[in-house]
Amino acid sequence: MELATLLNPGAVKAVSHVTSKKRLFQDLGDIAQAIYGLNASDTVDALQERESLGPTGVGHGVALPHARLHGLDRVVGIFFKLEKPMDFDAVDRQPVDLIFALLAPKSSGVDHLKALALVSRTMRDAAVCAKLRANSDTATLHALLTEVRGTQAA
């Protein structure tokens, strides 16, 4: 599994005006509908339901919201780089500016976990996060995310 198979280039955004988790999840839902054909309100509900179990802010300015949904045949991702970090109830209490959301089919046991592990490993890499924070061009952000595995394997 590679990030290039999870992340459509159109699902990578530099976002300037997000003031709350609710607004963020609505924006993620809109992208899920536009890019992956999912129902936006179902996506928002699923993300909020998962978040109610415990915050998905993993620390160092990174959040990995995720949910399982009907209507998907594979795991897909959405990446947002926020221009202004926001409170996300992260484990280290630091504001979040890099958000990588994963949406998986309801029945996707191990694939969902593999995708979450891959995204988590990628977003734990301080050099990758520094490069993401230094860029706002969506094509560059997509390239940084999807090419990271190849450069680390070399």
Active site members: 66
Tokens, residue 26: 């609505």
**Distance in angstroms (rounded) separating the CA atoms of residues 141 and 81:** 9
Question: What is the rounded (10 degree) CA torsion for 88, 142, 122, 93?
Answer: -10
> In terms of DSSP bridges, do strands 62-63 and 96-105 run parallel, antiparallel, or are they unpaired?
parallel
43 CB-side CA count, 13 A:
28
